[in-house]
Amino acid sequence: MSNGDIPCPRCGRYYSRQGVLDHMRDLHHITRRDAGNLVAAAQAQAKPKPKPAQDDDDGAAWVFRALAQQNKEHRAAMLAKADTTGWQQLSPYHYRRWFYDTRVDWWPSGGKAQVFTKGSGQPPQMVYGHRRVAALVERLKGIERAG
């Protein structure tokens, strides 16, 4: 039973609006027009159903909140630690830089990078993990310095 369900005026079972009209027609043999009037009257008189109580200690919801908080803190730390000099900032979390024909889109807070080599005919390649991304950027910077 979702919060949008309404009770049948005759038997009290909960249905969606369309479901209660069909139920009244099929089970109680009431015409659709009369059923609509009864449902409208019942909706006007019906009290809102109480929402189920949510206990913070019940279930695994607290685990997901704790993981989300830890994830936020980790991403903020990674973003603060990132060296973004020489990178074009596209958003607070997204940076871009060209190394000759290779474009790198970098998300330092998430430890992700997308590498696109112009003219290679290959689709962009994703690199995941802070260490792998750092190694990729260092390799490209080394090629740029040597070139």
Residue pLDDT, tens place only, 1-45: 556 677 777 777 887 777 877 887 787 777 777 777 777 776 666
pLDDT of 73 > 60? The answer is: yes
Q: Is 106 exposed, middle or buried (0-12, 13-18, 19+ CB in 10 A)?
A: buried
Query: Angle at CA 111, nearest 5°, toward 106 and 83?
Result: 60
Q: State residue 137's pLDDT score.
A: 92
Tell me if 111 sits within 8 A of 133, measured CB to CB. yes
Bridge partners of 113? 106, 127
User: Is there a domain that residue 72 lies in?
Assistant: no
- Rounded to the nearest 10 degrees, what angle do helices 17-27 and 32-45 cross at? 130
pLDDT at residue number 88: 95
* pLDDT greater than 70 at residue 58: no
Look at residues 143, 109, 108, 104 and name the one whose alpha carbon lies nearest to residue 126. Answer: 104
Residue 59 in any domain: the answer is no
38 vs 113, more confident: 113
Count the alpha carbons within 13 Å of 126 in the hemisphere toward its beta carbon.
Answer: 6
Residue 14, pLDDT score: 80
Shared domain check, 86 and 138: yes
Alpha-helix residue ranges (DSSP H) falling in the chain: 17-27, 32-45, 61-81, 130-146
Q: Does 89 lie in the same domain as 38?
A: no
Report if residue 29 sits inside a domain: yes
CB atoms within 10 A of CB 70: 10
pTM for this predicted structure: 0.54
The mean pLDDT value for 64-68 works out to: 88
Q: What integer pLDDT is reported at residue 96 of this predicted model?
A: 96
Count up the domains in the chain and report the number. Answer: 2
Is residue 84 domain-shared with residue 142, that is, in the same domain?
A: yes
Domain extent at residue 24:
6-45
Residues 40 and 82 occupy one common structural domain = no
In a domain, 66, yes or no: no
What pLDDT shows up at residue 38?
Answer: 75
With vertex at residue 122, the alpha carbon angle to CA 119 and CA 123, rounded to the nearest 5 degrees, is 115
Residue 54 lies in a domain: no
Which string of b and e fits 24-33 if b means at least 16 CB within 10 Å? beeeeebeee
pLDDT above 70 (res 133): yes
Q: pLDDT grade, residue 135 (50/70/90)?
A: very high
